[in-house]
Amino acid sequence: KAGVTQTPRYLIKTRGQQVTLSCSPISGHRSVSWYQQTPGQGLQFLFEYFSETQRNKGNFPGRFSGRQFSNSRSEMNVSTLELGDSALYLCASSLRLAGGPVGELFFGEGSRLTVL
Amino acid sequence: AQTVTQSQPEMSVQEAETVTLSCTYDTSESDYYLFWYKQPPSRQMILVIRQEAYKQQNATENRFSVNFQKAAKSFSLKISDSQLGDAAMYFCAYRSDSGGSNYKLTFGKGTLLTVNP
């Protein structure tokens, strides 16, 4: 069974631009979560999508958004990039029943974003 | 809000020896899960071991075991017979089991483990 796939693996943007990251979950997983990893703040929860709906959101500004498609693939978008957005963005998928907890998270290898 | 603290930014161990990574957490909840994740240089986070708070027995997975002290809010990871492939960043994580907060993991800052040959 294929794991969680994230694209692109590396990207470089300049301040003010926007970026879209993609995540394909493990087949059968309907929940996709996004985390930001930086040396200073560590791993921080961005948001979780389940059945094409954002179910939960972390403490990030509105510049960070996402969506989930009917095949459970998810994208996250960051608009008006700032230097501080440079980070490793990790996607994780999990089995989750409606109304139930997020199960074990299976992570992708991440997308390394550098903002110049 | 829950917090997870890993007080050891870096640890090193000789191959074949045992090392213990520390983790403490703060919560007012009684039902929750604790995890140890491993992030090798390739960056993919892998679940090492999990512990349900309602279980008194410490979880074990091959060479990996935990010492879960619920009253002390402590959750340490012991790696026995360390191997070169164990070298990685290790993260301790907490997940609530209550309906309002069971959707995310709260991570510690990590411990970088070096295994010396």
CA–CA min distance A80, chain B (Å): 26
CB neighbourhood size of A104 (10 A): 13
Q: Which chain B residues in 47-66 lie under 8 Å from chain A, judged by CB atoms? A: 47, 50
For B84, the 3-state DSSP assignment is helix
Mean confidence (pLDDT) of chain B: 93
Q: Which two tokens stand for residue B88?
A: 């990685």
Among the partner residues A43, A55, A107, nearest to B103 by beta-carbon distance:
A55
CB B95 within 8 A of CB B105: yes
Rounded Cα gap, residues B117 and B100, in angstroms? 46
Q: Which two tokens stand for residue B20?
A: 């213990």
Placement of tokens 């993919």 in the chain:
B44
CB contact under 8 Å between B108 and A42, yes or no, is: yes
pLDDT at B43: 77
CB B16 within 8 A of CB B82: yes
More confident residue, A104 or B114: B114
Query: pLDDT band for position B71 (50/70/90)?
Result: very high
Q: How far apart are the first and last CA of chain B?
A: 41
Q: Which two tokens stand for residue B76?
A: 């340490």
Q: Please compute the mean of the pLDDT values over residues B48-61 and round it to a whole number.
A: 93
Among the partner residues B37, B102, B107, nearest to A42 by beta-carbon distance:
B107
Q: What is the pLDDT of residues B82-107, one digit of tens each?
A: 999 999 999 999 998 876 667 789 99
pLDDT one digit per residue (tens) for chain A, 116 residues: 689 999 999 999 999 999 999 999 999 999 999 999 999 899 999 999 998 999 889 999 999 999 999 999 999 999 999 999 999 999 999 987 776 767 788 999 999 999 99
Q: What is the pLDDT of residues A95-116, one digit of tens each?
A: 877 767 677 889 999 999 999 9
pLDDT at B99: 67
Q: Is residue B1's pLDDT more than 90?
A: no
CB B109 within 8 A of CB B7: no
Rounded Cα gap, residues B36 and B13, in angstroms? 18
CA–CA min distance A88, chain B (Å): 9
CB neighbourhood size of B23 (10 A): 27
Rounded Cα gap, residues B73 and B10, in angstroms? 21
